[in-house]
Structure 1
Amino acid sequence: MNYMITLICLLATTLHRGVGWKSEGTEFITAFMQNYQVYTYNNVFQLTVTALNPSTSVYVMIYNTSFELTLTLEEWETRTVLLPSTLELQGTAVFSDRTVIIKSTKPITVVSINYEQYTADSSTIFPVNSLGSEYYVFAPAAYAPEFVIINHNQTNEILVTLSSTVTYNGSYYQPGENLTITLSAFEAVQLQSSASLTGTRVQSKYPVAVLSGNACATYNLACDILFEQLIPLNDWGKTFLVSSVSITNYTDIVSLIASQTTDIRYITGGTSNNITLQEGKYSEIYLPSNSSLAINATKPIMVMYTFTGGFGNYPTDTFIMNVIPFESLSSSYVINTEFHVNNYVRVTAKISVLLEIFMGNNTLSFIPTWNSMSGTDYA
C-alpha cells in the first residue's frame, strides 16, 4: 500500500471532541491486529499522540514487557511513538504481552497506524472511559476477517455470538453459537475467520476495546489491511449524513448494522429507500463519487464507511472508518497531518457554516469547493 493512503484514512477519521464520541482522555489501551504480511522487515507499528494542554506527560508501555517510554508535550504538540516490530497479533489466540497502554497527566488524543509494505491502515483510539460492554463487529469478507478484544485492568468474561465459523482452542464454532472467553487484566484475544464476521456480537462483564476489520481486503487494487476501533452500542446513533470520498468512476460502500429490529430510511441521489434490519444483520449501500447519503433509523445503528480505492491521479488503496452520528457531531476537532505526503480533510456542515469558516478565513491560501447534500441544508 502507498503510505500516503494510510494518512488519508488517519485524516478521514479525525479526532473528535464531542458528546458520546469523545476521543480525548488520559488512559488508552490498544493492540495491533494481524496484517497480511506478518513480520516483514519494514513493518511499522506507531502511535501519534497530541497534547491538548501545556506540560503534558505521556507514559507508553507494553504490558508484561520491558518496553516503557515517557514523553513531555506542550499544548497542540504532536509526537510519534514507534513500537516494537514484534507487537503484531498472529492467528486466533489470547495474547498476554501485546497490549499497549497509554497514560497521561492531562487529556491527549491517540491515533494508531499499522503499516507494512503495500498494506496499511489507521484508527482513532478512544480512551478507556469511552469503552463499552456491548459491540457488533464489522469485519467484511475477504482474505481474513478478524477482530480483537482488548481487556482493561481486571479479569473479564467475554461472550461472543458468532456470525461466521471460528476455530478457537481447537474447537470449531458455527454461526449463531456462543464462545465464552475469560481474559485477565490487559490481555487481548484475536479471532479470525474465512468468511465475514460482520454482525458478530461481543458482550462483556466489564468494558473492553474492540478493533475489527480484515487482514487483507481486496476491492479495486491489491489487498490491504483494514481496521478501526469500534464504537460501543450505547454510543450508536439514529441520523447520519455521509459524503462520498470515492475516486471518480469508483464506488464506495456504506454499511448499516442493527442491534434490534430497526426501520431505516435513506436518501441518495434524490431517491428515498426503506429497509428493515433485524438484530445482528446489516445492509450495504453503494455510494458513487461526488454523491451523498442521508440516513434516518428508528433505533440506534452503527454506520461504517469503506473507501474502496482505485486509480485516480495515483493508485489509492482501501480503508474503513466510523461514520459519526448526526447527534454526536461537534464544533471542535483535532486533525493530524504529515509531511511529505498529500493530506486531505473532508468537512460536512451547514452551507452557512462552511461559508463562515472558509470564505471568511484570510489565512487560507485556497478556496475550497463543496457539493450540496440532496434534501438537506448541508454540504
Structure 2
Amino acid sequence: MLFHLIFMSLVCSGLSVESYGRDFITAFPENTVYYNPQESYNTLQITAFYNDTLVEITINYTKVFHDKLRSGQTKIVHFPKYNEQFQFTNFPLFARVNSTQKIVVLWLSQRGSSVQSNVVQPVTNLGKWYSIPFINYNQMMASLYNMSDQLAPDSWRYNSFRLIIINAENSDNLITVQSISPDGPKAFNITLRPHKLYQFQTNGSEIQLDSSGKVAVLLTHPCVETAGCDCNMVLSHVLPRNLWGDTFLVPSVKNLNTAWLQVTNTTEVRLKGVNIKTQQFNSSELIPFPELKSASQLISSTNKVSIRLISPGFVLELIPETMFAACYLVQMNSTEGEVVIIAETAHKNNVSIDGKLLQFTNWKPIPYSNYSSISVSLSGTHVIWHPTSKIGVYMFETMEGGIPYGSPAVILNDDPDRDGCVADSTNYMTNFLQNNIGPGYLWIGLRRSLFTSEWYWLKGNDSKYSVSFTKWANGHPDIPQKALCAAVSKDSNKEFSWKSVSCCSKLRPICYKQGKYFSDITFNTLYDNF
C-alpha cells in the first residue's frame, strides 16, 4: 500500500478538486426583494485547517474583517443588508476572502423564511468558460399548479433568473456574453476591473460566457414562487465547463415531491437514466424526474454536461462522479440537517462520520450502478470520510415552509487515507528516486510475518496494512529464512523494483511526514459582525 502510493505519486496526475484554498470571491445576491422590511442575514462561515491562519475579508476593496483562526475553528462573519447585490450592470459589491493557510468558506443568506446556503469555490476551481441554461420556471410552475405562466407586465424585475459575473483576477477581464433566444443569438462584451461584478437578467436565454481570465458565476433568483403567494431565493454557484462530467448520482432529497432535471450541454447529447429513454436534449428542456421520491438515481450522458435538480423553491447543481472525493466537511445551521452519502456498494460499510463508522444499515442500492446511498440526520459540524474509495456527499436543511435547501458538501481532500479524513496529507520524500542517484536500495516499510510468511505494510504508529500492490524484481521475494523485509531500488532503469532482504541490512529508509487528520480537530464556532 505505501509503495503503491509512492509509485503513483511519481507517475500519475489527474483531476483533483478540493473546496479549500487561500483565495475566494463571491457576492450576496438579492434575497426576496431589496425593499423587504425584514433584516437580511448574510454570512460567510470560514473554517481554518491550521493554527495561526490569518484571514482577511474585503468588500468593495475595503477591509472589513481581519482575524487569526485556530486549527478547526469556524468564524461566522455577518454582513449587513446593504451588501446585497440588487443593482443591475456594473457594481462593486464583491466579497473577497484571503488567508495565509488553507480554509474553506460556506455562504449563507436568509431573509425571513427564505434561506439558501452554498459552498464558495476557491479561485483555483473557477474557470473562463461557462454555459448557463434558460430555466423556464414560470412554465414549470404553471404545469404544476394548472395556472397561466404569463406574469403581469409590472413584474418584469422578477420575471427571470439573473446572472452575476465576478472578475476573480487582479487585472481587467474581458468577458463575451452570448445569449441564444428564440429571436436568435445576441452577443455583447463586458470589461470588468479587478474583482468587480456585473449582474443582468437572463431574459429567457441560454447563455455562453467566454472570458480572458477566471470568473465566478452565480445563477440566482430573488423570489421564485413555491406555492400560492410564497416565494424564496434560489442560488447556484455555476461550475465551469472544465468540471462537467458524463455520469451523475442524483441524491434523493426529503420533502422534494416534484422534481425536474435541467441539462446544460454544448454538443448534441443523449441522456440515460431510470424512466429516461435514450434521447436528445437541449439545454433549455426541463425533464420530469418523479423517480427521485424512492431513491437516488444514476444519470449518464454521451458527452460532458452539467445537470441541475430543480423543484419549486429549489435549484441544486449536481457534482459529476469525477468530482467525488475521500472526505468532506458538513456544517449545519439548524438542528434538522440531513446529509445524503453516496458510496460504492461493496465498500459502503466503511464510511465514517468523525472518528466512528457509520452504523446505519438502511442503505439503498442505486439502480443500474455499483453505488448505494443513505440519508443521515445531523446537526453541527462533522467530517465524513472513506478510507479506501471516493464518495459523494450532499448537505440539506429545511426552511420553515418545508422546502429544502443546500448544496454539495465541502470537499476537504481528494485522496483516501486509511487513518482518517486528511487535513494535511502524508508527504513522501521521493526526490532521490526521481533524481536517479545511482545503485542501491532503500527501506519501504514492507515486512513478512515470521509465523505465516505473509507480507504486510508497517507504519510508524505500528499499524499493519495488507498488501494490495507489489513490484518484485525477478527472483524475489526470496524464501522467508533469508529475507523477512523488503527494499526498493533507487535505479529508474530497474523501474524502482523491489527485492527481499535481511532485516539486519544497513539501508536508508524512504521517509515520510505523518499526515494530520480532521478527526483530531475539535471544531468550535465564533461569531463576528462588521
For Structure 1 versus Structure 2, the TM-score category normalised by the shorter chain is 0.7 to 0.9
Which residue of 174, 184, 187 corresponds with 1:157? 174
What residue in structure 2 maps to residue 30 of structure 1? 26
* Local SS of the residue matching 2:66: strand
Distance in 2 (CA, whole Å) between partners of 1:368 and 1:115 is: 35
Match of 1:254 among 251, 254, 261: 261
How far, CA to CA, are the matches of 1:160 and 1:119 in structure 2? Answer: 30
Matches within 5 A, 1:304-319: 304-308=308-312, 318-319=313-314
* CA-based RMSD: 2.5
Partner of residue 210, structure 1 = 217
Aligned-partner SS, 2:105: strand
Structure 2 counterpart of 1:92:
88
Larger radius of gyration: 2
| Residue 345 (structure 2) pairs with residue 351 (structure 1) | yes
8 A Cα contact 1:30 1:150, kept in partner: yes
The Cα offsets for residues 89-118 of structure 1, whole Å up to 9 and x where unpaired, read as 12422102x011100111111111121112
In 1, the alpha carbon distance for the partners of 2:40 and 2:75 equals 19
- Separation of aligned partners in 2, 1:205 and 1:344: 39
Counterpart in the other structure of 2:253 = 245
Cα offset, 1:277, TM superposition: 3.1
| Residue 187 of structure 2, aligned match among 168, 178, 181 | 178
Give the equivalent residue in structure 2 for 1:137.
Answer: 132
- TM-score, normalised to structure 1, is 0.81
How far is the alpha carbon of 1:72 from its aligned partner?
Answer: 1.8
Normalised by the size of structure 2, how large is the TM-score?
0.59
Offset at residue 212 of structure 1 (A)? 0.4
For residue 468 of structure 2, what is the aligned residue in structure 1?
none
Residue aligning to 1:300: 304
Q: Of 52, 76, 98, which aligns to 1:80?
A: 76
Partner of 2:101: 106
Q: 1:185-225 CA distances to partner (integer Å, 9 max, x unpaired)?
A: 111011115x544x311111111000002221124462111
The equivalent position to 2:289 in structure 1, one of 286, 289, 292, is: 286
Is residue 47 of structure 2 the alignment partner of residue 53 of structure 1? no
Distance (whole Å) between structure 1 residues aligned to residue 234 and residue 276 of structure 2:
30
Q: Which has the higher contact order (CA 8 A, sep 6+)?
A: 1
Return the letter of the residue paired with 1:51: A
How many residues align structurally? 334
| Alpha carbons 2:226, 2:232 under 8 Å: kept | no
Structure 2 residue identity aligned to 1:378? Y
- Report if the CA contact (8 A) 2:251-2:295 is conserved: yes
Moved more, 36-45 or 24-33: 36-45
Question: Helix, strand or coil for the counterpart of 2:71?
Answer: coil
Which residue of structure 2 aligns with residue 374 of structure 1?
367
Q: Distance in 2 between matches of 1:341 and 1:260?
A: 43
Q: CA deviation at 1:70?
A: 1.2
Separation in 2, partners of 1:177, 1:33 = 25
Q: Secondary structure at the match of 1:327?
A: helix
The separation in 1 between residues aligned to 2:204 and 2:295, in whole angstroms, is 27
Distance apart, 1:234 and its partner CA: 0.9
What's the secondary structure of 1:50's corresponding residue? strand
Match among 238, 242, 248 for residue 234 of structure 1? 242
Q: Percent identity?
A: 23
Tell me how far apart the structure 2 counterparts of residues 105 and 68 of structure 1 sit (CA, whole Å): 17
Deviation at 1:76, TM superposition (A): 2.1
Question: Does the 8 Å CA contact 2:218/2:238 hold for their aligned counterparts?
Answer: yes
Q: How far has the Cα of 1:243 moved from its partner?
A: 2.4
The answer to whether the 8 A contact 2:21-2:102 is kept is yes
Change (3 A) 1:105 1:210: same
Cα 1:368–1:119 change in 2 (3 A) is: farther
SS at match of 1:352: helix
Q: Partner letter of residue 173 of structure 2?
A: N
For residues 363 and 324 of structure 1, do their structure 2 counterparts lie closer, same or farther at Cα, with a shift above 3 Å needed? closer
Confirm whether residue 192 of structure 1 aligns to residue 208 of structure 2: no
**SS of equivalent residue, structure 1 residue 202:** strand
In 1, Cα distance between equivalents of 2:344 and 2:219? 32
Checking the alignment, whether the CA contact within 8 Å between 2:127 and 2:214 is kept in structure 1 is: yes
Ranges in structure 2 where 5+ consecutive residues have no aligned partner: 1-13, 139-157, 373-530
